[in-house]
Structure 1
């Protein structure tokens, strides 16, 4: 009933909610990311699906140019630079390399290191984890 009231009163949009702790946003690692890397970070979080207890598709996130165009990435090189930056800073990790299968290209898949890697129906080349790797915490400025 309360859920219906919120929607009826126009106080809440539909869709998922991505919890992002303030200590993550306040970290030097996040604050010093380039604008393009922050944009990609948000694009990838927007793909996450949450349920009680965490995510259920972390590891099945992609950063293809066709998706990134909608997020303001005009060129593939800018997107690739942002991917490289998030990988180097430990915000994302590769869970499957791209390949050609079923008559079409399959993209690289990534996981956000803020959450555990999910099973994702056998799509991944890495095993699911019980806890987040937290690799982003290991980054130190030069």
Structure 2
């Protein structure tokens, strides 16, 4: 019987949940261009994600973010603005008075149904919007070993 390669995975890490952020996000220009505060907010929002609540993530200063170490509401708002401009988060509900906080979604996940809380639909959600800020680099062709610099370096296969 084959042994599962994930059999001892629980023994290799601390218990509890984890934050899954793809390398395409972490290595992308949208993320790399962020300030430290914006990166911290991205992780704070990602820590709220439970697998079925993308779109229902909150960044309210007084009720939530102050307890997570945020000292200034202005700094928090600047970080939110940076994440929105980078396409890493999307505002799914506008905040309003009274007692209605703005809600956000992480754009590398699909939008979840949040029980009618959201102002948008899954069809209007810009999934992977951060990639629009990060066009794929043009890959230069590799030169073969000992190939002439003036030729294309094409080698025919022989048996």
TM-score by length of 1: 0.78
C-alpha contact (below 8 Å) 2:56/2:114 kept by paired residues:
yes
Q: CA RMSD in A?
A: 2.5
- Counterparts of 2:120 and 2:29, CA distance in 1: 29
- For 2:49 and 2:87, the matched residues in 1 are separated by 17
Structure 1 position 32, deviation (Å): 1.8
Q: Distance in 2 between matches of 1:21 and 1:131?
A: 19
Matched residue SS, 2:104: strand
TM-score, normalisation: structure 2: 0.71
Residue correspondences, number: 128
In the TM superposition, what are the counterparts of 1:85-96 in structure 2 within 5 Å?
85-96=82-93
Give the number of the structure whose residues are more often strand, by fraction: 1
Poorly superposed stretches of 4+, deviation over 6 Å: none
Q: Which runs of 5+ in 2 are unaligned?
A: 1-7, 135-159
Q: Which runs of 5+ in 1 are unaligned?
A: 51-55
Structure label with greater radius of gyration? 2
Deviation string 1:63-121 (CA, Å, 9 cap, x unpaired) is 01132223322111000000000011101111111134xxx511000111111111101
SS at match of 1:71: coil
